[in-house]
Amino acid sequence: MTDAGRRALVTGIGMVNAGGGDTATSWQALLDGKSAIGPIRRFDPTGLPVSLAAEVTGFQPPQEISRRLLAKSDRFAHFALAASAQAVADAGLDLAAEDPFRTGISFGNNSGGWDICERGFVEYYQQGPPMINPFQATAWFPTAPQGFVSIQYKIRGWSKSFAADRASGGSAAYFGLRALRWEHNDVMLVGGAEAPVTRLGVGAHVSTGELSRRTAPERAYLPYSPEGTGLVLGEGSAVLVVEDAGHAAARGARVYGELLAVEQRTGQPDDGTVLEDALRAALDQAGREPGEVGLIFGEGCGSPAADQVEAEAIGRVLPGVPVTVPKASVGHMYGASTATDIAFALLAMHDGVLPPTAGTQVDGPSRYAPVTATAVEGSVSTAVVVSRSREGTNVVAVLASHGNGR
Amino acid sequence: MERTSDDIHQALTDILGELGVEQDAITESAVLGTDLELDSTDAVEIGLELKRRFDVTVKVQVKGSETVGDLAKTVLHEIGQQHA
């Protein structure tokens, strides 16, 4: 990879999550310290050991998406279509005027489409194999959001989807940046989508051992706390328009900031030196010194052992830098989490504010990482986003505020 | 239970509506493949829904010139065969 190559600017943001159906609403909800975690309402969770989630309520797919396309696709693809539409509009990008072979998609998704799976299972077990709906095969699988978004916008450039547990979205960012650096494309839609909040979906996630079983919403997801008992599932999508700097300049695009580097390292999950390597490599690629980093968006999966490994690695490379975990507000969105964090990081730098980690005040000072309970004013020009999987994938993204890029 | 052509037409309207076809477009003379732009997966789904609702096996054609009215007639014919 030629690091000295092209610069990657973020020129559009779109998002749907439990905090809000668009970027402005989500961002304000995060700054207000509101948590969208609450009792599951979409289905009756009786009999499941987990009763909380961060659900998207009142979701309406954008009008520009045809009902025909929606009928063939699952909720997680609907989220991706909505976030993509927002991001493309936000970027002022006319994709019909772009070279379709120079525009691509890099999306993360961990668990596929559970709504359509439940329907398919009912058809299979209650009505018999010949009665399975014909959309099942193309609607459930993790590349479906990429497929439906590429159909919607007639995108034909180098595109990939990544399934890597909690780091699914991190891997998508890693390869999304490379699609520009390797000069496959000039414009990338980088992000992901997830919609695991169905009875079957939550039930299946329980077996990962990652989910908090607490019933009090404000105590359920406690990143970097010795009292953490796991994560709470979220749902939604985030999509970033990531664009070659020359391409952005040529069309006079408004710029949020620069994606300086994304590095990925894999090793034993309890070995913190792997994350340390990823952090140092990403900073090196970004041309940034540790002292320049003003804010970290941590993985903070809520499991004390994993969080301690992460916090100690961060502490060795970036001691004392504030850490924040929006997941405590909007739940863990797996494939959608990294793009959501990158978007929030860019907004934090733009607005000069460090977003809080919801629920922090409950545990007081016994945290492993320096998180805050309320939003704090602060000027940040370089931010780091960390994504870690259960099985040892570590992804680190480094971002610069607009005007502070390479 | 006796099924009338009105029942069939209503069922087809519901099924096509579930597939995202605009209600205004669903007329007797609308050609499934060209006018309603149905594809092979839609054809399979329509067939499955007709099986569920009327317990008939109908091959829905989206490649040729079959209309909504033609399909309704075929369904009605199959129901008649079943009870003959």
Residue A365, pLDDT score? 47
State the greatest distance between any 2 C-alpha atoms of chain A, in Å, as a whole number. 62
Q: Which residues 40-79 of B are in CB contact (within 8 Å) with A?
A: 40-42, 44-45, 48, 51-52
Of A200, A220, A250, the domain-final residue: A250
The interface predicted TM-score of the complex, written ipTM, equals 0.89
What are the residue ranges of helices labelled H in A15-167? Answer: 23-31, 67-71, 75-90, 114-122, 136-140, 144-153
Residues of chain B with pLDDT > 70: what percent? 98
In a domain, A363, yes or no: yes
Q: Which of A197, A220, A250 is the last residue of a domain?
A: A250
Q: Is B19 on the interface with A (CB under 8 A)?
A: yes
- For chain A, give the number of residues: 406
CATH of residue A375: 3.40.47.10
B21 touching A (Cβ < 8 Å) = yes
Query: In Å, how far is B36's CA from the nearest CA of chain A?
Result: 10
> Do A355 and A232 share a structural domain?
no
User: Exposed, middle or buried, A404 (CB in 10 Å: 0-12/13-18/19+)?
Assistant: middle
The backbone torsions φ and ψ at residue A334, rounded to the nearest 5 degrees and listed phi first, read: 45, -105
Q: Are residues A280 and A244 in the same domain?
A: no
Which of B14, B15, B26, B45 would you mutate first to test chain A, the one with the most A CBs within 10 A? B45
B31 touches chain A (CB under 8 A): no
Query: For residue B48, what is the DSSP state?
Result: H
Q: Residue A88's closest CA among A187, A227, A236, A233?
A: A187
pLDDT-derived band at B82, boundaries 50, 70, 90? confident
Q: Which domain holds residue B13?
A: 5-83
Nearest to A185 by CA among A104, A120, A302: A104
User: Are A245 and A295 part of one and the same domain?
Assistant: no
Of residues B20, B44, B48, nearest to A70 (C-beta) = B20
- DSSP classification of residue A130: G
pLDDT at position A296 is 97
Q: Does A255 fall in a domain?
A: no
- Quick count: other Cβ atoms within 10 Å of Cβ B73? 14
Q: How many domains does chain B have?
A: 1
Q: How far apart are CA B84 and CA B78, in angstroms?
A: 10
Q: Of A120, A193, A129, A142, which is closest to residue A339 (Cα–Cα)?
A: A193
User: What pLDDT is stored for residue A34 in this prediction?
Assistant: 85
Amino acid at B34: T
- The strand pairing partners of A398, in sequence order, are A261, A384
What b/e sequence results for A206-238 when a residue is b if at least 16 CB atoms lie within 10 Å of its CB, and e otherwise?
A: beeebbbebeebebbbbbbbeebbbbbbbbbbb
Whether A205 and A285 map to the same domain: the answer is no
pTM given for the model: 0.95
Confirm whether A2 is domain-assigned: no
The C-alpha of B20 sits at a distance from chain A's nearest C-alpha, in angstroms, of 4
* Chain B nearest C-alpha distance from A74 (Å): 13
Out of A69, A70, A133, closest to residue B45 by CB: A133
For position B76, which CATH number holds? 1.10.1200.10
> How would DSSP label each residue in A6-48?
--EEEEEEEEEBTTBSSHHHHHHHHHTT---EEE--SS--TTS
Given CB atoms, is B25 within the 8 Å cutoff of chain A?
no
**How many A×B Cβ pairs under 8 Å?**
31
Last-in-domain residue among A201, A217, A250: A250
Q: What is the mean pLDDT of residues B54-70?
A: 95
Condensed to tens digits (0 to 9), the pLDDT of residues A113-130 reads 999 999 999 999 999 999
Chain A residues near residue B52 by CB distance under 8 angstroms:
127, 131
Structure tokens at A402: 């607009």
Chain B nearest CA to A79, separation (Å): 18
Question: Does residue A197 lie within any of the structural domains?
Answer: yes
For position B2, what pLDDT does the model report?
Answer: 73
Closest approach of B83 to chain A, Cα-based (Å): 22
Task: Let me know whether A383 and A238 are in one domain.
Answer: no
> Sorting pLDDT into bands at 50, 70 and 90, what band is A361?
low
Residue in B20, B45, B48 closest to A66 by CB: B20
Give the pLDDT confidence score for residue A2 in this predicted structure: 40
Q: What is the distance between the alpha carbons of residues A169 and A265, in angstroms, rounded to a whole number? A: 14
Cross-chain residue pair B52–A72, CB shorter than 8 Å: no
Structurally, chain A folds into a number of domains equal to 2
For A13, the 3-state DSSP assignment is strand
- pLDDT tens, A54-91? 999 999 999 999 999 999 999 999 999 999 999 999 99
The answer to whether residue A256 is domain-embedded is no
Q: How many CB atoms lie within 10 A of CB A134?
A: 18
**What residues make up the domain containing A203?**
8-250
- A290 with A193, same domain: the answer is no
Confirm whether A406 is domain-assigned: no
Mean pLDDT across chain A, nearest whole number?
Answer: 95
Burial class (CB in 10 A: 0-12, 13-18, 19+), B61: middle
